[in-house]
Chains A and B, each alone.
Chain A
Amino acid sequence: MYQYDKYDQMMVDQRVAQFRDQTRRYLAGELTEDQFRPLRLANGLYIQIHAPMLRIAVPYGLMSSKQVRKVAGIARRYDKGFVHFTTRTNFQLNWPKLEDVPDILAELATVQMHAIQTSGNDIRNTTTDQFAGINAEEIEDPRPWAEIIRQWSTFHPEFAYLPRKFKIAIIGSETDRAATKLHDIGLHLVKNHDGEIGFEVLVGGGLGRTPIIGEQIRPFLEKEDLLSYLEAILRVYNRLGRRDNKFKARIKITVREHGINHIRELVEAEWVQIRDQLRLDQKEIDRVKAFFTEPDYDSNAAADTTFEAKLAEDKAFARWLKQNTFEHKVPGYKAVYVSLKKHGQAPGDITSEQLEIVADLADKYSFGEIRSTHTQNLVLADVKQADLYELWQQLQAEGLATPNINTLTDIICCPGLDYCGLANATSIPLSKQIAERFDDLDHLYDLGDIKIKFSGCMNGCAHQSVGHIGILGVDKKGEEWYQFTLGGSSEADAAIGERLGKAIPKEEVVDTVSHLIDAYVDLRHEDESFLATVRRVGVDPFKERVYADN
């Protein structure tokens, strides 16, 4: 993975000093609340209901075991001994003290970590596919490009006060595990007719109150032009994006109001002016790529026979393997999910002890690297098949082997009313109840791939509008109600879910999920997924089932 040089290190160290001084001035009354807010947000610090929340960046979801141990230690020392993973692959600490944050950032800087631009109206952490670099269908590893974008976007002086937040996601294969079509900019590494690799560029996707699927602005961009093209989009947006209404300030609204064709004309006109000046050097591309070379794989890994024997004799292992591992491009290796979706536990949460164990397991079995995923799980990406049984046993002992990846109980969930100052309604306790209701693994596997996404308010941090089943908490006269949508997707077939009907009271949420699932089981053709069934029959049959009693 990428290693800081003296420049990178100096920049995060100077950032810590800057924020330490800003915090001091705020606490001394020299900065007002309004003046301090954007400064703390640009360092990932929110002020929530109970305490501040600090969001720590995990650039493109990649961490070393050393970094994970550091975060575990920070969570223990400055927080309550656990962290929460977000849909954009970052960590959150839910209970740090404001006065401690400069010290926390200083500790993070010792392991090449930071909280830079994890919030605020700036360019956020660039995310990617958790299987980048190990995926057989990949056209090219997106991580070096994500790192190049990280550096370009960090402290970009022109784009620190954008109309609104700005998120970029990049993938290197057709399967979209990073929700790129729901980002302000989505980048796809593609091959053109001449066999050259470049980027397809999408713009204007986004979730929140007005979910919109991103549109193509350029079918093919030469790789060397990446930064100039991004800079052109950002400059057009910085000048044109609305600043009179924060709910209309995302680039998705700019694109919708002006039309993709007009935006394209403006961007291309801007781009030709800066293209030559900002063209990436091959030397720099090579420098960054050199950090993402393949680890030292065992060429005999596939020769192992113990793995097949274990599979045959241990059904639980076989079940976990089928559900929680992913095919690796190198024979004899698998990528392994560390499930943070144990039933009865808040989705995406992990304790300091568990983090340290995952770090140890990464050192022992996966070249010391850990990845975080859009679905709020972790991945050990390079595990030899001979080690899988042992790894599984150790994960299981820690409650990290729930074999439910991509099933109904692999719920994406925001912190909700229990933690978040913006939320209207509870989300985590209800997701736990859903997981408890669907506790029978055979039943879960029979239901197949069903993505439930559960947000506690319109801001939609859990991306409910693109859930196969989306659940959105709303406030009605002080009571918590829940709006369901069906048929959304964040993948290559991205779609915004359709509203099921009127909102559902809190005590009926779990039953409603059951009704939806029962309806699916009745309606589906053989081997037809939930999403395919919804798309074939529409929302009405589900609606009838759910609202039949009313």
Chain B
Amino acid sequence: MQIIKDREIVEDNWLHLDDEAELVAGNITVSLARWQEQHESLEHHEGGLGLRLSGDDPLEEIVPDLARFSLIVLLFPVFTDGRCYSYAKLLRERYGFKGEIRAQGDVLQDQLFYMSQCGINSFELANPNRLTNALSAFDDFTESYQATVLRPEPLYRRR
């Protein structure tokens, strides 16, 4: 499957593992529940490890474990559920997460600009046939009034 990562269309090299599925080598993501249950065996996983979070999950509880993950997947069950915009922003700015943050679920072109400003840098679009069109959305606006992850100084300090 293809995704958008850092504003380019790339082949995805991650496997999102169901809670019942057996562990396999390579880059995998797991749910928070699986991480909490199996975190000792997962510590020794060979390959990249990613964590999937939804807006229902307690973000602050996983902060001590963040260094273990190279990918955090934020789930948007419907595109109107905006909780994970705050999660992305906090992961980047407060908890210093430097790895990949990916939006998954009902991810549409028209939300990419805001998502990217909050620190999300990869996107599994709901409709993977529209990746090329969606790339233009990162340039919908060339400025933001606010301090964002991509532009840490608010506009008023730059004007």
| Chain A residues with a Cβ under 8 A of chain B | 5, 7, 10-11, 14-15, 17-18, 22, 30-31, 35, 38-39, 121, 151-152, 154-163, 235, 238-239, 243, 273, 277-278, 280-281, 283-284, 287
Residues of A within 8 A of B85 (CB): 157-161, 238
CA distance A277 to B55 in the complex (A): 25
Q: Does B147 count as interface, using CB distance less than 8 angstroms?
A: yes
Are B79 and A35 neighbours in the complex by a CB distance under 8 Å? Answer: yes
Contact of A11 among B80, B94, B141, B156 (CB under 8 A): B141
Residues of B within 8 A of A151 (CB): 145, 155-156
> Apart from A7-B159, A157-B117, A157-B148, what are 11 other A-B pairs with CB-CB below 8 Å?
A7-B155, A11-B141, A17-B140, A18-B141, A30-B130, A155-B145, A157-B146, A158-B118, A243-B83, A284-B156, A284-B157
Are B81 and A243 neighbours in the complex by a CB distance under 8 Å? Answer: yes
Max chain A Cβ within 10 angstroms of own Cβ: one of B79, B82, B117, B159 = B82
Are A161 and B81 neighbours in the complex by a CB distance under 8 Å? Answer: yes
Q: A14-B140, A35-B79 are in contact. Are A158 and B145 (CB under 8 A)?
A: no
Interface size class of B (residues with CB under 8 A): 20 to 34
Q: A35-B79, A151-B155, A239-B83 are in contact. Are A14 and B141 (CB under 8 A)?
A: yes
| Chain B residues with a Cβ under 8 A of chain A | 55, 79-83, 85-86, 89, 94, 108, 110-111, 113-115, 117-118, 130, 140-148, 154-157, 159
Are A22 and B82 neighbours in the complex by a CB distance under 8 Å? Answer: no
Are A155 and B157 neighbours in the complex by a CB distance under 8 Å? Answer: no
Give the shortest distance, in Å, between A284 (CB) and chain B (any CB). 4
Are A155 and B155 neighbours in the complex by a CB distance under 8 Å? Answer: no
Residues of A within 8 A of B142 (CB): 10, 14
Q: A7-B159, A157-B113 are in contact. Are A38 and B143 (CB under 8 A)?
A: no
Pairs across A and B, CB under 8 Å, 12 listed: A5-B159, A7-B155, A10-B142, A10-B143, A14-B140, A31-B110, A151-B156, A152-B145, A154-B145, A157-B85, A157-B113, A238-B83
* CB-based closest 7 A-B pairs: A161-B82, A157-B117, A157-B114, A284-B156, A151-B145, A158-B85, A18-B140
CA distance A327 to B154 in the complex (A): 39
Q: For residue A156, which residue of chain B has the nearest CB? A: B146
Q: For residue A283, which residue of chain B has the nearest CB? A: B156
Give the shortest distance, in Å, between A43 (CB) and chain B (any CB). 12
Residues of B within 8 A of A30 (CB): 130
Are B110 and A239 neighbours in the complex by a CB distance under 8 Å? Answer: no
CA distance A280 to B155 in the complex (A): 11
Are B55 and A239 neighbours in the complex by a CB distance under 8 Å? Answer: yes
CA distance A5 to B143 in the complex (A): 13
Q: For residue A120, which residue of chain B has the nearest CB? A: B80
Are B157 and A238 neighbours in the complex by a CB distance under 8 Å? Answer: no
Q: For residue A37, which residue of chain B has the nearest CB? A: B80
CA distance A151 to B89 in the complex (A): 19
Q: For residue A15, which residue of chain B has the nearest CB? A: B141
CA distance A154 to B155 in the complex (A): 12
Are A11 and B89 neighbours in the complex by a CB distance under 8 Å? Answer: no
Give the shortest distance, in Å, between B81 (CB) and chain A (any CB). 6
Residues of A within 8 A of B82 (CB): 121, 158-163, 238
Q: A161-B79, A161-B85, A281-B157 are in contact. Are A155 and B147 (CB under 8 A)?
A: no
Q: A39-B110, A158-B85, A161-B80 are in contact. Are A7 and B146 (CB under 8 A)?
A: no
